[in-house]
Amino acid sequence: MKFADGERSTYADIQKNRPDRALAVRLMREYVRSCRFAGCTTDARYLEALGLKVPAAEK
């Protein structure tokens, strides 16, 4: 939260408060990997609420 809540009046302040680059890259890659279609699940109740049919294998 240091970066989000830190001082931003100068570019030097912004750079001083930024997170570790390697950590930020690793976390972003993990996030993108978890968002892939293969990692998704179907919410049967949501589909039913929309009036859609739920695939038989999902119930």
What's the pLDDT tens digit per position in 5-36? 888 889 998 888 888 999 999 999 999 998 88
Contacts of 33 (CB under 8 A, 6+ apart): 39
The residues spanned by each domain of the chain are 2-58
> Tell me, what's the pLDDT at 7?
84
Please tell me the distance from the alpha carbon of residue 20 to that of residue 27, in angstroms, as a whole number: 11
pLDDT at 58 > cutoff 60: no
Backbone region of residue 51 per phi and psi (left: phi > 0; alpha: psi in -120 to 50; beta: other values) = left
pLDDT category of residue 50 using cuts at 50, 70 and 90: very high
Q: What are phi and psi for residue 53, nearest 5 degrees?
A: -85, 135
